[in-house]
Amino acid sequence: MKLSLLQTHGLKILLTIIKSGKETLTASEISKIEGLKTGYVGKILFMLRKAGIVSTIRGKTGGYFLADDKKNITLYDVLTALSPNKNEIELCPNIKEGENCTHSIDCAIRPVFYEAHKFFKHLASNITLEEMANREKDIMSKVKEIKNHYFKEKV
């Protein structure tokens, strides 16, 4: 249950773009605001572009901007894009996508992580960048609301 620094930086970069109000932002501008190296910001934005989260304009007057409306990009999208094993936030290392667990007989760990991950995915998929650009307090009530609704439906 860990948010990596890379993911944190990625989120902050995206929030910086949103909060700037500008059409596009360069890696260099972001790096100054966030206190990160330009190359590092560029690398993260490159990963986010490959995931379809930001779009770019190359060359002079170039820069980065959200590929979609901030309402449509979720926390889960961003975390997945910046997860080292790319396709999915990892569950049990014994479970590859589409495969059965090779330890299915004695792997008692899977159901626990399956349930926990399902909830986390649901939570993170229902938080948008727009909402994250607002303050904690607003998010906190939104989180509670999602949780309550989730439990009402699934239980």
Partner DNA sequence: AATAATTTTTACAAAAAAGTAAAATAAAAA
Partner DNA sequence: TTTTTATTTTACTTTTTTGTAAAAATTATT
Residues that bind DNA (CB under 7 A): 4-6, 9, 26-28, 36-37, 39-40, 42-43, 45-46, 49, 56-64, 84-85
Q: How far is the CB of 85 from a second copy (least distance, A)?
A: 9
Q: Which is nearer to a second copy, 28 or 102 (CB)?
A: 102
Strands (E), 1-86: 54-57, 63-66
Name the nearest CA neighbour of 4 among 117, 85, 64.
85
Q: Which is nearer to a second copy, 69 or 138 (CB)?
A: 138
Tell me the β-bridge partners of 57: 63
Name the nearest CA neighbour of 94 among 84, 106, 83, 82.
106
CA distance 81 to 52: 9
**Residue 33 interacts with which of a second copy, DNA, none, CB < 5 to 8 Å by class:** none
Q: Which is nearer to a second copy, 15 or 51 (CB)?
A: 15
